A and B are shown apart, each in its own frame.
Chain A
Amino acid sequence: MNIHEYQAKELFRAMGLVVPPGDVADTVDGALALAREYGLPVMVKSQVLTGGRGKAGGVKFCETEEDVKTHAGNILGMDIKGHTVHKVLITPAETIAEEYYVGMLVDRASRRVLLMASAEGGVEIEQVAKDNPDAILKFAIDPRYGLLDHQALGVAMKMTGDIKKARQLAVGMQKLYRSFMHSDASLAEINPYIFTDEGVGKAIDAKVNLDDNAMYRHPTYEAMRDLDEEEASEAMARKADLSFVKLEGNVGCLVNGAGLAMATMDLVKYYGGLPANFLDIGGSSNPDKVVNALEIILTDPNVEVILFNIFGGITRCDDVAKGIIEATKRMDIKVPIVVRLTGTNEVEARELLAETDLVPAATMDEAVQKAIELAGK
């Protein structure tokens, strides 16, 4: 789950990081009121869950109230990479003497939280990683002890020769680590971490991704979820505890297991079709879950056929068959349904399906080919 910059900054502030004041507005008048409260000059920053806001014209420096009106007016409602701007963050403009990058993520290889820091702040870190990988310092943090003083300072001293600044950076890193662990983050970035002309270190931008699996123990963060940013069908899927991603094709896919679901999409493409979605109905599936899954897939008007690909392991095929039959009774499904069920209790499942007008298939390849053929009709 991604959260907005202003939310990430709230999270950092709560852990004691130095973050400039700021608040969000959804109207020009609201933006103006905030600008007056903080005093000019201010920054007007679009709050959307995507990168490249600056390049798209979604971040503007405002010296006058007229600037605030113009820029807030332009940015509110703006489309940035398919995301509509509903809110702008108003924050005092800082004088920037130096810019650094400080970030953390869960590193698969070391299985630790990895601190990444660079003196090349303010630019996209992916670009730095590509052009000049040596400019990124890395340190894997031992979860037993956290980021120790000398470890943080050791990294910071490689970023600046100024001990006063290094100490501020080091403390910033430690507070970022505490924010990361406290919020069950999967990514937390300060880019840039700046020093003002007076030598004061501040986090002036913030990006945080939170671990969906941990949100059950963070109701306050779960409440930060921006429902406007979610595809309606993806929101439905999340509520039904299904893993779903909408795609552009016409073959609706309903598969048990993420790997098999991806392989099914790939196979649809292999045989010349286009998948409409990724959908994993998960492990212990019950009929209600299948009904939910069908409802979600059928919200997409592009779907011309539904393809079930179920290899039963933890999922029992007779459960799935009952779900499909119940769903087709409850719903008015106009598109053909191809069903491939293999594995646990498959004989019982086939007996149940034999009395319906669903299109059976014995293998994954046969099912995909039949689905593509039916979608073309």
Chain B
Amino acid sequence: MAIFCKADTKILVQGITGRDGSFHAKSMLDYGTNIVAGVTPGRGGQTFEGKVPVFDSVAEAVAETGADASVIFVPPFGAAGAVFEAADAGCKLVVCITEGVPTLDMVKVMPFLEERGVRMVGPNCPGFINPGMKAKLGILPGNIVAPGPVGLISRSGTLTYEVVDALTKAGLGQTTCLGIGGDPVIGTQFMDALKAFHADAETKALVMIGEIGGDAEERAAEYIKANMDIPVVSFIAGRTAPPGKRMGHAGAIVTGGTGTAADKKKALEAAGIPVADRPVDVVPLLRELWKDAP
């Protein structure tokens, strides 16, 4: 059944007429995603790709189409505003793809979402894709995924594609492939995603792609050890990253000796979660651990 959205979830796209928004909204439509509306202030009344109505505001889009989830492609300075707007209009799921959002904007957004029971994925993330229900909320390439029993959580974007591609080519399809993003403050944290996969009966195995910085992988390892009995394997990026330098993602930084790849590997292996040396090694490690894999 996969996580975070249902086959009948009605999706709107904020920033649908922008350069990135239009490119990816088209790709989401081509994949089969149920996009019911687009929002760009000042473009209300237009139609996207001949079938998706565009509205001036999320509130109008929700009132007219019943949309209950939003995918955001607006520029960084407008991203927090777009999240507030989607939540205010009643969307219960917000996927914020935008990269480069000021961290304190997201600190301010979080209580607003919590008060309204809204889940946010991102920002600065590829979103997620549920191949079994042809739902793509974000920018993951639809041609590299396949329906199947593996759940995948990642803090990265393109590294996720690398691993998903390897899984699919090895005949290991996915329930949900989820990129939670690499920023310090994100709506759906590693642990939230883990719990969602844990509750999903169709997810029979899990792949976790972590990176340096913070302690999300360490906390995930503890949770998995205490609560989960499905096979889990992992990959951690950033073994060669120098301390004190931000490696692209604002969250990917080794500070004061914490958040190193070595620490994470140690914590994961102590919890019985093998850590792959190379992205391609994820597949053989998973097969080794998972005797009745497809």
Which residues of A come within 8 Å of B, CB atoms?
Answer: 106, 108-109, 111-113, 126, 129, 142-144, 181, 184, 186, 211-214, 216-217, 243, 245, 247, 255-263, 265-270, 275, 278, 280, 282-284, 311-315, 342-344, 363-365
Contact = CB atoms under 8 A, between A and B. Distances in A.
A176 to B, nearest CB: 14
A267 B278 contact: yes
A369 B99 CA distance: 31
Interface centre among B103, B165, B240, B250 (most CB of A within 10 A): B240
B200 interface: no
A313 B126 contact: yes
B271 interface: no
A263 B141 contact: no
A145 to B, nearest CB: 10
B248 to A, nearest CB: 3
B99 A261 contact: no
A260 B184 contact: no
Interface stretch (B61-69, B88-96, B104-112, B221-229): B104-112
B155 A259 contact: yes
B20 A284 contact: yes
Contacts of A256: 158
Contacts of A211: 102-104, 250
Contacts of B10: none
A259 B249 contact: yes
A263 B158 CA distance: 10
B159 A260 contact: yes
5 contacts: A111-B185, A112-B107, A129-B256, A256-B158, A269-B239
Contact of A259 (B105, B158, B250, B256): B158
Contact of A266 (B107, B156, B240): B240
Nearest to B160: A259
A270 B156 CA distance: 20
Contact of A214 (B102, B239, B252, B277): B102
Contact of B237 (A144, A266, A344): A266
Contacts of B107: 106, 111-113, 143
A260 B108 contact: no
A1 B162 CA distance: 31
Given A111-B106, A247-B242, A257 B141 contact: no
B140 to A, nearest CB: 6
Contacts of A217: 77, 102
A112 B108 CA distance: 8
A317 B215 CA distance: 34
Given A211-B103, A269-B239, 13 more contacts: A186-B184, A257-B158, A258-B211, A260-B156, A260-B157, A266-B237, A266-B238, A266-B239, A278-B241, A278-B247, A311-B162, A314-B24, A314-B126
Nearest to B252: A258
A243 B185 CA distance: 19
A217 B184 CA distance: 20
A59 to B, nearest CB: 21
A313 B184 contact: no
Contact of A365 (B159, B211, B246, B280): B280
Given A283-B20, A311-B162, A312-B141, A144 B111 contact: yes
Interface centre among A108, A109, A263, A282 (most CB of B within 10 A): A263
B285 interface: no
Nearest to A187: B255
A107 to B, nearest CB: 9
Interface residues of B, number: 64
A257 B102 contact: no
A106 B161 contact: no
A342 to B, nearest CB: 7
Main secondary structure of the interface of B (DSSP, over half): loop
Contacts of B111: 142-144
Contacts of A113: 104, 107
A213 B106 CA distance: 12
B283 interface: no
A216 to B, nearest CB: 7
Contacts of B256: 126, 129
Contacts of A111: 106-107, 110, 185
Given A142-B111, A213-B100, A213-B103, A263 B279 contact: yes
A108 B240 CA distance: 23
A126 B99 CA distance: 30
A184 B104 contact: yes
Contacts of B245: 245, 278
B76 interface: yes
A269 B240 contact: yes
A60 B215 CA distance: 38
B19 interface: yes
Contacts of A282: 99
B44 interface: no
A29 B199 CA distance: 70
Nearest to B101: A213
Contacts of B110: 111-112, 143
Interface centre among A106, A216, A245, A342 (most CB of B within 10 A): A106
A142 B111 CA distance: 8
Nearest to B106: A111
B267 to A, nearest CB: 15
Contact of B185 (A106, A247, A312): A106
B248 A258 contact: yes
B233 interface: no
B182 interface: yes
Given A181-B104, A282-B99, A108 B162 contact: no
A13 B126 CA distance: 41
Nearest to A124: B256
B291 to A, nearest CB: 27
Contacts of B216: 108
Nearest to B154: A259
A186 B182 contact: no
Contact of A283 (B77, B99, B189, B280): B99
B251 interface: yes
Contact of B241 (A265, A313, A364): A265
Given A259-B237, A314-B24, A364-B162, A186 B139 contact: no
